[in-house]
Structure formats: C-alpha cells, structure tokens
Amino acid sequence: MPTTTFADGLPTPMLALNRDGMPTGEGWTYEPKWDGFRAIVAVRDAGVDLVSRTGRPLARYFPEVADLVGATAGAERFVADGEIVMVTPGAMDFGMLQLRLHPAASRVNKLAAEIPATLVLFDLLSEGGEDLTSLPLDGRRARLATLAGRLEIVGAPTSLADVPPGPALSLAPWTDDVEVATAWFDDEAGIGQDGIIAKRADQPYQPGVRGWIKVKHRSTADCVVGGYRLAKNGDGVGALLLGLYDDEGELHYVGHTSSFKAAERRALLEELQPLVGGDSFGGMRAPGGQSRWSAGKDTEWVSLEPRLVAEVSFDRMQDGRMRHAATFVRWRPDRDARSCTWGQLGLEPPSWSWSDQDTPSQGS
C-alpha cells in the first residue's frame, strides 16, 4: 500500500508512471514536467514547511522560498503541491539547483542570495483547513487560481520561457490542447524542461499513488547504486551497479552504467570507499559470476551500502534488466534510496531463480 501521509500529517505527493507516448482523448490535460525538486508546501500557524517527495525538509536549503511563501500567504492557510526550480537566463539549470543542498547554514544563506530559486505551484490540496484532495483536478486548479489571485502570485506564464527567476512564486501552466502539449514536449522555448505530465481532469488527488502519466524525452529511472566494478586497469570505477526495490523492500540488480571519464572514475572510487560493505543486493537478482553471457569477463564486484541514487537513461528493459548499459544522467541527492522502486517504471519485478541468473560472486 502506498504511504499517504508523512509523520507530520501532510499528504505524500501523488506520483506518475513512465510511458513512451502521450495519452490523448477527452478528459486528458497536460502540464510541463519541471526539472527540479518536488515540494509539498504547507502554510500553517506554526510557519511554512517545504517537504520533499520523500518527507525531507527543504525549507532549510531554500529559506528565500519559504520566506517568500510566508510573506505572500499572510493570514491564509493552505497546503499545495509544486516544484522548486532554478531559472537562469534562457534555461532551467538542475545542476545549479543541486548546489543549494549544502549542509552549512552560512553557505546556504550565501547561495540563497546569489542563486535564488523559484517555486512553481500546480495543485491545491487543502485551504483554510478544508481537505480538497477528493475534488476533481479541474476543481482544485480553479481553487488554486482563485487563491493565487487573492495573494497576487504570478499567474501561469503563456510561454515556458516566461517562468520568473527566483526568488519568485508562480502557477504552472496547463492545457487540454495536444498541440500545445506537444510544443512543450518538444521544448520549443529551448529552456530544457523535462517532458510532459498528463493528468485526468476528473481525477482526485491520490497521495502516494502513481495515477498520473509522465512522458520524458528519454526513458529514465532513478536507481540505487548497490555496488561497483573496478576499471580493467584497476584505476578507478569501471561501472556502477544499479538496483530497484520490490514491494517487500528487497533490492534487485537491474543494470549498470559506465559512462564516466578517466578522472571521474578515479574520483568515484575514492568517494565510494566510505560506503563499501553491506549486503546491498542480498539474495535477490544480483550482478555476479559466470553465466552464458559473461564468458571471459571479470565479474567480481564490490558491494556498497545502498544510499546513493543515480538517474540514468536507457533504451529498454528486457527480462527485468536494462538491455544495454545505461547512461549516467546525474546524482539525485533529493531522492531516498528506498523510494526507488519498480513502480516508477510501471513494472513488477520478474520472477527468477538461481538457475536462470548469475551466481553472486562478490569482491571485497
């Protein structure tokens, strides 16, 4: 069962399934897929909370956003869903956004002044203590637009290139016109937005449920780094070994990525050493020893504590694994490893037995 609330009572975000094509027909609406950090925004008597999709506090990293929300909201009390993005001249910059996740408060405050973020709101979950999640999406959008009008929040831009740079609050644009959605998907504005989210206009908000559809420019997945193999010459990491969790909390090996330059391989080897050890893939599908596919290859690998999350792109899944090597896209420090499940792909872990997979042969 999906988790529907965080420990503080806030609803967990509604999620989306990966699909290759955009759904069409009556009732479908479309929004840009923002390249940022998902955030549940709560304005309560105790103050403003920004909570990540895995329940982590974000206000400490984005104080300028929290302060702006509080100042704008005044006496209003509400819970909304949105995305924190970094708007730079002509583009959105996820790499710069990642710089904001710094442990030192002095550095956070410096970055908040130098590279402030923008909060884009796209859903309203409660207002004045009234739970709105059972309303259809078009009703929640109407309530959000009315609230934004009272608070003088920037309305939805007519062009994605007009999303305001931070510190700023804005509503997300949406459309039921497939041609407009296609133009957004094709990124005609050239700002680097990440695809399309398709939503049913009559759908209630379902915390923790993958009830929306996301169509990205490439097939991607957020995977747990469960281990690595050394480069052939021993000078650095040759490949990161990737996994996804099943519903029972077991980590399954799904593929590897080796798209790193020589200097990156050496740096990775040093950075991964504190995580060496543990039983990341356990008794599940694991990278391993000799099989009919691995004759003549070095299959020794080093297990890592499953803490790091990497976003990778890939061509397709076959028999529960990525058919070819995945391409490393970026690290996802905002993702909790346990949240990286098969559900994001709309797939179930395949059944398997020791007779049809590699036998684990773990290095040290």
Asked if 241 and 221 touch (Cβ cutoff 8 Å), the reply is: no
d(CA 199, CA 136): 11
**Amino acid symbol at 24:** T
Q: How far is it, in rounded angstroms, from Cα 285 to Cα 41?
A: 38
Interior angle at CA 122, CA 120 and CA 126, nearest 5 = 115
Tokens of 178: 């497939």
d(CA 364, CA 344): 31
Alpha-carbon torsion 54, 209, 127, 175, what sign? Answer: positive
Decide if 214 contacts 35 (C-beta within 8 A): no
Q: Indicate if the alpha-carbon torsion angle 273, 277, 278, 284 is positive or negative.
A: positive
The dihedrals phi and psi of 248, each to the nearest 5 degrees, come to: -90, 5
Residue with tokens 């007519």: 158
Catalytic residue of the set 33, 214, 232, 261:
33
Nearest to 83 by CA among 39, 49, 124, 123: 39
Distance CA 222, CA 187 (A): 22
Kindly state the tokens that stand for 302. 């080093």
Nearest to 255 by CA among 245, 269, 267, 240: 240
Catalytic residue check, 216: no
Catalytically active residues are 33
